[in-house]
Amino acid sequence: MSAATDFATPRISGRLLGAIVAISPVALDMCLPALPAIAIGLNSDSSTVQLIVSAYLLGFATGQLLWGFFADRFGRIPALKSGIAVFLVTTLLSGMASDVGFLIAMRALQGLAAASGAVVARVIVRDVASGPAGASLMSTVTAYLGTAPLLAPMVGAAVLSWFDWRWVLWAPMLYALAVLWGVSTRLPETNPAPDLDAFRPQRMYHVIARLLGFQQFRLGAILLVLPFAGFLTFVSTSGPLLVDVYGLPPGVFGLIFGLVAMAYVLGALVSQRLLRRRPMQQVRLFAVIATTVASLFLTTLALLPQVSVFAVWVGVAVYVFGIGIGLPNWTAFALEPLAGVAGRGVSVLGFLQMGTGALVTAIAAASYTNDHRSMTASMAITGLLSTVVYVVAWRRRRFGP
């Protein structure tokens, strides 16, 4: 039995791959309770400080293109180790920022580095499994991934209650060091034949054109990207909204954010269970139904001038539950035809996912008016757009008979 096959056992791969992917949400979500404190500490305002989230997502999106090609050229393990090393340096510098512009720049570079974990872990899943098995393994990774948004804001709030906001920005270094140890000691290489021409411009252009030529890849990417962009709007605006507008203390914010993350984990676990009993097409339909119901409810909230925290939480939780079901399945659906270019396929998919997220969160930040409407409207629009795409594709039999 090969090393890759040994590694593909769920007990090992799910935990370690989930921990690797979680580097990014740890860095992104841990700082959310500290956004108001960062604004005060750097003499800035809420709208500007929200850009550290958009900058992180933009860097993360750019990194998606870099690390997939890097992993196909040099191997999965060298890509992971290089990305974590850069992540550690930029995390250290983020906490040393003396003005918001420098912090935004460092967060962009931090996001670029963190993308290595998200890309390479999904590439490894594609290396060792495909079809329903790949979707099931991706669901396991997604379930572990959801633990990071569940705990990170709580940890950030706890750190903020004892220390300066700078320590909240530094705290992810400890997690990254632990992951680096796991990669170095427990993760085998799953790319036995690196593509020596992966970084040649002509080769890169050819591969990207080939990827975009797959109808299944394009459709899966759209249905993955749109709802996730709406979720990232919640991530970027939840701190100022819940702390500044609703007046919740950072600890309560962490709890509410954690409950939303639990909905994401629950969706991933439901997906994994359904895949054992039902066809993938039915599981994807369940995800679309959940997202559609939530989007319609969020549309109602966006039309009201005042709503309760509970109403916002219910709408967001159902929306995120749908993403938890859909994300692993649409990812597996998009990557299924990409044998031989899996690393670059994950790169392009991740770039589209996070690039769209960065754009939508920037628009939401620019239109933020100290109430819930920009967030709920953004989530509703992206969710309903994905529903329209699904219905059109289904009517045209893009998912098969």
CATH of the domain at 238: 1.20.1250.20
Question: Is residue 181 in a domain?
Answer: yes
pLDDT in tens, the chain (401 residues): 333 334 343 344 567 888 888 888 888 878 877 888 888 888 777 777 777 887 888 888 888 878 877 887 788 888 889 999 999 999 999 888 888 889 999 999 999 999 898 888 877 777 666 566 666 666 667 666 666 766 787 788 888 888 888 898 898 999 999 989 988 887 777 766 666 666 677 777 777 777 777 788 888 889 988 998 888 888 777 777 777 777 777 667 777 777 787 888 888 888 878 887 888 788 889 999 999 999 999 999 988 888 888 888 889 999 999 998 888 888 878 877 766 666 677 778 878 877 787 788 777 777 777 778 878 888 899 999 999 999 998 888 776 54
Which whole-number Å values give the CA distances from 221 to 328, 335, 398, in the listed order? Answer: 12, 9, 14
Question: Is residue 192 in a domain?
Answer: no
Among 358, 363, 329, 337, which residue's Cα sits nearest to residue 63?
Answer: 358
Question: Is residue 193 in a domain?
Answer: no
**Cα 129 to Cα 131: distance, rounded to the nearest angstrom:** 7
Question: Is residue 149 in a domain?
Answer: yes
Question: Is residue 40 in a domain?
Answer: yes
Among 22, 287, 304, which residue's Cα sits nearest to residue 142?
Answer: 22
Question: Is residue 191 in a domain?
Answer: no
Contacts 24+ apart (CB under 8 A), 387-391: 387/288, 387/291, 387/292, 387/295, 389/219, 389/222, 389/223, 389/226, 390/223, 390/288
Question: Is residue 190 in a domain?
Answer: no
pTM of the complete model beyond 0.75: no
Question: Is residue 163 in a domain?
Answer: yes
Q: How many domains would you assign to the chain?
A: 1
- Structural domain boundaries, residue 371: 3-185+198-395
